[in-house]
A = this chain, B = another copy of it.
C-alpha cells in the first residue's frame, strides 16, 4: 500500500515532467516558423518563396532523418562504440517500459526523441539563411539532409550522448556550441564555397541589400525568443521548478541585454538605432546565454547578453569587410556568439575558472574542426557534381521564378 502511494507520487511527477518536455518540444518547433519569417523578412522579395520553401521542408527532413538515423547516432547508448562515434541502429521504437518512469523520471522515449529531433532541424535552418538568395535548391536539400542526419548528431553525441567532450568536462547546457556553432560553421563554409551575392561587393564597395519585409523579421525574432523558453528551459530535462524558472530568467535577461547592447552599439558606431541590428542583438543574447543558462545569476546573464549584443554588431560589419556575404547575419549570431557563449561558461557563473575555460576552448576548436571538415566535403562534392549556385540570370531574376515558378506577392508593384 505504501509502495502503491509512492509509485503514484512518482508517476505524478513523471507526468508533470513529461508534460513540460512535450510543451518545450512544441516551443522549439515554433522556432522553425521564427527562422522562416526572420530569414524571409531579411532578404529580397524575389527570393521569398525559395527561402520559405527551404524552411518549410527542413523540419520535415530533420524529423525524418532523425527518425531513421539521427537519434540513434546521437544517443547510441549501449551501442556506444567509442568516444567519437556510435550507432544504435535504424528507426525508433519503444518498449512498454520506455513510456513509463522506468525510462527516465523526466520524459518518455517518444518525448525524448521528438524534443531532440526538433533541436536537430534547427542546425540546418541556421545554414539556410546564410546561403540564401543564390543557392540551388536541390543542392541545399541534399546538404541539409546530410548535415542534420549525420553531422549534427555525431557532434551532439560527443557531449550529450556521453562522448569524449562529456568525459573531458566540456559544458554546453543547451547548445551554444552543439547547435548554434554547428549551424554557424556549416553556414560559414557554405558562404565561402558559394561566394557573395552579385553586386554585393562590386566596384570595391559594400552595397547593402536590405530585407524586404521587416515586420516578418520582427515576428521571427519574437517567435525565436518564445521558442527559446523551450530550447533552454526544456534542456533542464524536467520541470524542476528552481532550475527551469532560473533558466527562464537568465534567458530573458540575456535577450533583453542583447537588444540594448546592439541598440547602443549601432546607435553609437553606425549613428542610427538600427532595427535589424537590435533584432540580431536579441538573438545574440539568446545564443550567448544558451551554454550556461543554468549557471548564471541575473547580473551575469545581463553582462553576457549585453556583450553578445555588442559583438554581433561588430561581427556583422567585419564579415562584410572581409566579403563574407551572409544576408541575415546568421554567422555573426550563431557562430560568433555561440563561441562567445561557450567560452562564457569558463568566465562567469557557477563553473567559471581557467580549467573550465580550457575545456570550453577544446570543445569550440574540436567542434569547429570537425564541422568545417565535414561540411567542406559536402559542399565540395555538391559543387563538383550538381553545382551549388544558380545561374547569374536566375540570381538576377530571383529564385522564386527560377526554382519554383511562383511569386510571393503577385498583386503588388515592385520597385524596378
Q: Using a CB–CB distance below 8 Å, which chain A residues touch chain B?
A: 1-2, 5-6, 8-9, 11-20, 22-23, 25-27, 29-30, 32-33, 36-37, 40-41, 44-46, 48-49, 52-53, 55-57, 59-61, 63-64, 67, 91-94, 99-100, 107-111, 113-114, 117, 137, 210-216, 218-219, 221-223, 225-226, 229, 233, 239-242, 244-246, 248-249, 252-253, 255-257, 259-260, 263, 272-276, 278-279, 282, 297-299, 302, 403-415
Given A107-B245, A241-B108, A413-B414, verify A15-B16 contact (CB < 8 Å).
Answer: yes
How many Å lie between the Cα of A67 and that of B305 in the bound state? 14
Q: Name A2's closest neighbour in chain B (CB-CB).
A: B1
Given A37-B215, A93-B297, A225-B29, verify A15-B241 contact (CB < 8 Å).
Answer: yes
Given A12-B13, A30-B226, A36-B222, verify A413-B410 contact (CB < 8 Å).
Answer: no
Contact B214 A216 (CB under 8 A): no
Given contacts A56-B218, A137-B273, A412-B415, 4 further A-B contacts (CB under 8 A): A52-B215, A60-B255, A109-B245, A213-B215
Copies of this protein chain in the complex: 3
Contact B92 A298 (CB under 8 A): yes
In the complex, what's the smallest C-beta–C-beta distance from A272 to chain B, in angstroms? 5
Contact A404 B275 (CB under 8 A): yes
B residues within 8 A CB of A210? 406-407, 410
Q: A32, A214, A233: which has the most chain B beta carbons within 10 Å?
A: A214
B residues within 8 A CB of A299? 91
In the complex, what's the smallest C-beta–C-beta distance from A383 to chain B, in angstroms? 21
Contact A233 B22 (CB under 8 A): yes
Q: Name A412's closest neighbour in chain B (CB-CB).
A: B412
B residues within 8 A CB of A15? 13, 16-17, 239-241
How many Å lie between the Cα of A40 and that of B13 in the bound state? 43
How many Å lie between the Cα of A88 and that of B45 in the bound state? 52
Given A5-B5, A14-B241, A111-B245, verify A63-B253 contact (CB < 8 Å).
Answer: yes
A-B contacts, 7 of them at CB < 8 A, read A26-B229, A60-B257, A61-B260, A67-B253, A137-B273, A214-B408, A412-B415
Contact B413 A412 (CB under 8 A): yes
Q: Name A117's closest neighbour in chain B (CB-CB).
A: B252
In the complex, what's the smallest C-beta–C-beta distance from A276 to chain B, in angstroms? 8
Partner of A245 from the list B18, B67, B226 (CB cut-off 8 Å) is: B18
How many Å lie between the Cα of A25 and that of B110 in the bound state? 22
Contact A252 B412 (CB under 8 A): no
Q: A40, A49, A218: which has the most chain B beta carbons within 10 Å?
A: A218
